[in-house]
Amino acid sequence: MQQQIALIEDSLKQLHMVQDKESLESLRISLIGKKGLITQAFAQLTNIDKDSKKQVAAQINQLRKTFEQDFARKKEEITLKELEIRLKKEKIDSSLFRANGFTSNGHPLSQMRDMIVDYFVELNFSLQDGPLIEDDFHNFEALNMPKFHPARNMQDTFYFRDSMLLRTHTSPTQIRTMQTSELPIRMICAGPTFRRDYDVTHSPMFHQCEGLVVESGDHISFAHLKHILEDFVKYIFGENINVRFRSSFFPFTEPSAEVDVSCMFCEAKGCKVCSHTGYLEVLGCGVVDGNVFKAVGLEGVSGYAFGMGIERLTMLKWGINDLRSFYETDLRILEQF
């Protein structure tokens, strides 16, 4: 038994020389694991005569207490040392970015926005903008969502006094453009929108891009919309992607559809990301409802509209699984772009 105690004391001396958590855990197992020296020493007490047992048990118990105290101190010491090393490694001096040759193509959301805008500007769409603080008419009423319309419940709106609100989509810019521009209209708008939601796929502030085409007469049809969006989706995700249009409902378009693309994570075979359907929804679209034209005083016209979430396209394009990553300024993510 004295030989066993000597081995335990030698191991305790080694504790002070340990420099990393892996070695520390290995030493812990060798002493108090199922087959550890201290554990075995307690088990062997049954082989000692009664006169010596109490004294030896007290000695072993004291060695165990000493180990537990030294182990806790050593673990804290190693943890603080590793934290110091990590903080030094991750230390950021923004003034050194240029000196260190830091280059960036921009934030991933900015890159996606630029891709979208470049595509439609090449097709002679104008880039429009509108206020972030909107009134009820432009955000809801003119878009065929009168008071008490059930679609309003989907928006989770941030309201101010006097019916003012943070815009819940970029669609009000379409209304303002139709009120102030001459026909024909070919426009897109991109910018931040706001809703009361926050999780891995939703944020209180997010970005949308919407497009609108309006011309005199009734020759603008869903076929025109389908053609341009199929080409746009392949421009974003590649020529090998499959595109489908699925019937849907939006108050401001009729007929309406959601555009799906074949899941790029499982190659349309079905996985957890696409809920085993093989497809992922990327945007909504439709032929502009007549009530929207009536609200802005247009007659004898036809057109189509579409809208998409910039965050969603970015997540799918580059495989980012948490929307909140876009706003945490974590260089480990941002430097990839």
Q: Where are the beta strands (DSSP E) in 11-158?
A: 126-128, 133-135
Whether 326 contacts 206, CB under 8 Å:
no
Residues 88 and 127 in one domain: no
Write down which residue in 42, 74, 96 finishes a domain: 96
Q: Is 22 annotated as a binding residue?
A: no
Q: Has residue 120 been placed in a domain?
A: yes
On whether both 131 and 251 belong to a single domain, the answer is yes
What pLDDT digit, counting tens, does each position of 131-171 carry? 999 998 998 899 988 887 776 766 678 888 787 889 989 99
The CATH number of the domain holding residue 174 is 3.30.930.10
CA distances from 81 to 25, 140, 292 (A): 16, 57, 64
Q: Is 31 in the same domain as 154? A: no
- The encoded tokens of residue 26 equal 């290995």
pLDDT at 310: 92
Residue 107 and residue 181: Cα distance in Å, rounded?
Answer: 32
What is the tally of structural domains in the chain?
Answer: 2
**119, 208: one domain:** yes
Does residue 124 fall inside a structural domain?
yes
User: Do 298 and 209 share a domain, yes or no?
Assistant: yes
* Residue 199 and residue 61 in one domain: no
Domain that residue 11 falls in: 1-96
* Overall pTM surpassing 0.85 (yes/no): no
Same domain, 286 and 220: yes
- Strand 301-309 to strand 279-288: parallel, antiparallel, or no bridges (unpaired)? antiparallel
State residue 96's pLDDT score: 58
**Hunting for tokens 């062997």 — which residue is that?**
44
**Is residue 24 a part of any domain in this protein?**
yes
Do 180 and 262 reside in the same domain of the chain? yes
Please check whether residues 127 and 9 belong to one and the same domain: no
142 shares a domain with 92: no
Distance (Å) of CA 103 to CA 110, 118, 334: 15, 22, 11
Contact status, residue 173 vs residue 189, Cβ threshold 8 Å: yes
Q: Check whether residue 211 and residue 280 sit in a common domain.
A: yes
- Decide which of 56, 72, 96 is a domain's last residue: 96
Predicted pLDDT of residue 99: 47
Written as tens digits, the pLDDT of the chain (337 aa) is 677 778 888 888 888 888 888 888 888 888 888 888 888 888 887 777 777 777 888 888 888 888 888 888 888 999 998 888 888 887 766 665 554 555 667 788 999 999 999 999 999 999 999 999 999 899 889 998 888 777 676 667 888 878 788 998 999 999 999 999 999 999 999 999 998 877 666 678 889 999 999 999 888 899 999 999 999 999 999 888 899 999 999 989 999 999 999 988 887 788 877 788 888 899 999 999 999 999 999 999 999 999 999 988 998 888 887 777 888 777 777 777 7
Q: Are residues 277 and 185 in the same domain?
A: yes
Q: In the prediction, which pLDDT does 90 show?
A: 75
Residue 314, in any domain of the structure: yes
| Residue 101 belongs to a domain | no
- Whole-number pLDDT of residue 190: 93
